[in-house]
Amino acid sequence: MAFSISPLLANSAIICVLLVLFASHRDAAAATGYNCYKSIINFGDSLADTGNFIRMSNPENKGATPPYGETFFHRPTGRFSDGRLIIDFIAQSLGLPFLRPYLSAEDDGGEEINFEKGVNFAVAGATALDISFFEERGIYNAMTNTSLGTQLDWFQESFCTNTHSADCKEKLQSSLVLMGEIGGNDYNYAFMQGIPREEISSFVPKIISTISSAITKLIEFGAQSVVVPGNFPIGCLPLYLFFFKGSNQSEYDSKTGCINWLNEFSMYHNEQLKRELSRLRELHPNTTIIYADYYNAALDLYISPSNYGFNNTLSACCEGCMLSKSSTVCDDPSSFVNWDGIHFTEAAYEAIAQGLLHGPYTSPNVYEFCILKGSRGQTSSDHLRMNI
């Protein structure tokens, strides 16, 4: 259906184009003067943790020791990579600072955390389901007992108590909320401890329901823009390739070398998640719920690695980082997709982030929504239907 573009929308589009051109540079993005969101609120696990886990665990854990952080920060920061994560690139592209980990408030003697630019509740090792679910099934989480429920409790206790509910709603309305990635560890622990595939498949509806409940609660608090990532293609991860190594070549994708049945499991999770997000959109038409297709954004790095400058897709740059105290680090992490066997390199995270920010791996993509967000009088359900 044709429609005319208002002067306000046209002006917003021009400004947003400038933002896109300078998206990889934080200062340039800020210089455009156009910020779609005032802050980012993030939940998740080690794929998005910027320092919570190292503040609640043994100081010698992997994210707190070299070579983690060597590429960009030149020191360990608690990020499970050689540098920046997807959440870091998203923040930079929107002209916002790196997200401060929630538990860093303890570094300030318990002073109230600065909510203005956002906060990160993600914890490495965190699961979507509570630890009791796994303990009942004999599945052990050696890293943490933190779950998505724990992170929501932190958020509510800090920013959405009854006495601050109006303030909470106002801030959430101007924030981009990222729900994960979360749920990957629920599967990781089970797969690595030999739980049958059929039993792990039965976890999926419970995990999707938990994520859905968390999104619903945030919408009730006032969230209007929520990005929900799916799971990565776990059949391409070196740690999974090591644990499930087999001689049956039919189990492997001839183009990528990834294990087919593991990637099919990830796709099953993602299809169930997308179905649930469609249901939530119907229930909450004034909230924009964006699915972030981490699976295909990452899979493209394995299908066409040379397009991104990678020459090693199925080996870890930092061999032994996750499984032993001794490790060997590659000379050029930017040529590797994978960092330590289960987490990606900064170069891979940047490539994935660009696919999310500019498309085609979010619908609508973040920048498209920024343009639409600048147009007055349109509801979020209108945003999802319009095609510019």
Tokens 């630019």 sit on residue:
117
Cα dihedral 50/77/342/186 (nearest 10): -40
Using an 8 Å Cβ cutoff, are 53 and 78 in contact?
yes
Using an 8 Å Cβ cutoff, are 52 and 121 in contact?
yes
State which amino acid sits at residue 239.
Answer: L
120 - beta bridge partners? 42, 101
Q: How many CB atoms lie within 10 A of CB 109?
A: 6
Q: For residue 17, what are the contacts with CB-CB under 8 A and spacing of at least 6?
A: none
Tokens of 107: 């570094």
Catalytic residue set: 46, 340, 343
Q: For residue 297, what are the contacts with CB-CB under 8 A and spacing of at least 6?
A: 351, 352, 355, 356, 361
CA angle 231, 232, 236 (to 5 degrees): 145
Tokens of 302: 């394995």
Using an 8 Å Cβ cutoff, are 89 and 354 in contact?
yes
Tokens of 306: 């040379």
**What is the Cα–Cα distance from 92 to 114, expressed in whole angstroms?**
18
**What is the Cα–Cα distance from 31 to 370, expressed in whole angstroms?**
16
